[in-house]
Amino acid sequence: MGEQDRGFHADRIKVSYWDALGNETVRYFAANLPDEEIPETIDCPTSGLPAGRDRENPPSVVKLEPYKTHLAYVKERRTEEEAESLLEEALVQLRIRRGKLKPTN
């Protein structure tokens, strides 16, 4: 059962967006929505590319940052000396828990 069966039709406008591959995506917005609240770009559900309202000039793909591993982020924040120190502290704690080393208090 859709809106036509319920007797009320909200006024709305149809806005088309196009990505760099020419895919069109249609979104509907309330007719009384101010134009500045309608997004200029969206992510195309088909391609994942940004899609804009100008068919002739779709938005270009923003430069994607390469995926960084957790280790890469850690290396940005720590020096080699800090890493060695932290690793040594963690190994000491592990050895104490396993009973291979006596705690030093």
Q: What is the pLDDT of residues 29-88, one digit of tens each?
A: 999 999 999 999 999 999 989 999 999 999 988 777 788 899 888 888 989 999 899 999
Tell me which residue range forms the domain holding 73.
65-100
Q: What pTM was estimated for this model as a whole?
A: 0.54
Q: Give the pLDDT of residue 57.
A: 93
List CB contacts of 43: < 8 A, sequence separation 6 or more: 49, 50, 51
* 47 and 70 assigned to the same domain: no
Q: Report, as an integer, the average pLDDT of 88-96.
A: 93
Residue 77 inside a domain? The answer is: yes
CA distance 11 to 62: 35
Q: How many domains does the chain have?
A: 2
Q: How confident is the model at residue 21 (pLDDT cuts 50, 70, 90)?
A: very high
* 70 and 47 assigned to the same domain: no
